[in-house]
C-alpha cells in the first residue's frame, strides 16, 4: 500500500491510499480518482513530506529501570481512533449526528432520494452511496442532496 498527498485543479488537498503506484496511475487515467470536496477528476500528486519517526531515544523520555510496561505504553504512539486535529474531531461529530438521525440506504441512495422528491414515499433523512453520474443527475433535477465529507460505514454482511 502507498499513500499519496493529492491536489485537484481547484487546489483542494487530500490524501488517499493505493495498492501501488501503478494502481494510482491506472485509476487516475480512467477518472476514478476524484476530489472529495468538488468531485473533480483532474487530480495530481502533491508535495509530500515523509512520515519519519524520531529515534526511540528521542521519542520517549528515558525511564528509570524499574518502570513498568504501563509507563512505556503511555509514551507510545497515540491511538489511531483518536482525532488528530479539531477538524477531524468535528468530522467525527458530524458523522455521529448523521448516523444517529438518518437512515442508511446504502447503494439505493439515488433511487430513495428521487422517490422522496417525487412524493412516492414519505420524506425522511437518509444517507448512503451513489455513483457520480447518479448524484449529478439528482442535483440537475433539483433533488436536494449534498455530498458527505466522509465515506459511510457500510452496514452489509
Domain segments of the chain: what residues? 2-45, 86-140
**β-bridge mates for residue 44, sequence order:** 7
Given this model, what pLDDT does residue 48 score? 74
Cell numbers at 37, concatenated: 470536496
Instruction: Tell me how far apart the alpha carbons of residues 124 and 117 are, in angstroms, rounded to a whole number.
Output: 10
Cα 94 to Cα 61: distance, rounded to the nearest angstrom? 37
C-alpha cell at 138: 439528482
Query: What pLDDT sits at residue 66?
Result: 43
Alpha helices by DSSP H, listed for the chain, are 21-29, 56-59, 69-74, 86-101, 109-117, 132-140
pLDDT of residue 123: 94
Phi and psi torsions of 153, nearest 5°: -75, 120
How long a stretch of residues is the chain?
157
Per-residue pLDDT of the chain (157 residues), as tens digits, is 888 899 999 989 888 888 888 989 999 988 889 888 888 889 999 887 776 666 665 555 544 444 444 333 444 445 666 767 888 888 889 989 999 999 999 899 999 999 999 999 999 999 999 998 999 999 999 999 988 888 777 655 4
Q: So what's the pLDDT on residue 117?
A: 95
Whole-model pTM over 0.85: no
Show contacts of 117-125: CB within 8 Å, 24+ apart. Answer: 117/141, 117/142, 117/143, 117/144, 125/101
Helical pair 132-140 and 109-117, crossing angle rounded to 10 deg? 10
The pLDDT score that the predictor gives to residue 67 is: 41
- How confident is the model at residue 69, as a pLDDT? 41
pLDDT of 154: 65
Amino acid at each position: 500500500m502507498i499513500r499519496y498527498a493529492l491536489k485537484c485543479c481547484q487546489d483542494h488537498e487530500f490524501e488517499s491510499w493505493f495498492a501501488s503506484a501503478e494502481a494510482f496511475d491506472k485509476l487516475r487515467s480512467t477518472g476514478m480518482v476524484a476530489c472529495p470536496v468538488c468531485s473533480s477528476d483532474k487530480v495530481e500528486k502533491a508535495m509530500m513530506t515523509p512520515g519519519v519517526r524520531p529515534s526511540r531515544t528521542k521519542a520517549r523520555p528515558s525511564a528509570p529501570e524499574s518502570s513498568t510496561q504501563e509507563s512505556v505504553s503511555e509514551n507510545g504512539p497515540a491511538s489511531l481512533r483518536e482525532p488528530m486535529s479539531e477538524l477531524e474531531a468535528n468530522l467525527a461529530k458530524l458523522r455521529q449526528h448523521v448516523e444517529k438521525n438518518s437512515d442508511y440506504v446504502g447503494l439505493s441512495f439515488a433511487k430513495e432520494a428521487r422517490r422522496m422528491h417525487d412524493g412516492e414515499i414519505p420524506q425522511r433523512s437518509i444517507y448512503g452511496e451513489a455513483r457520480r453520474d447518479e448524484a449529478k443527475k439528482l442535483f440537475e433535477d433539483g433533488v436536494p442532496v449534498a455530498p458527505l465529507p466522509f465515506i459511510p460505514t457500510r452496514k452489509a454482511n
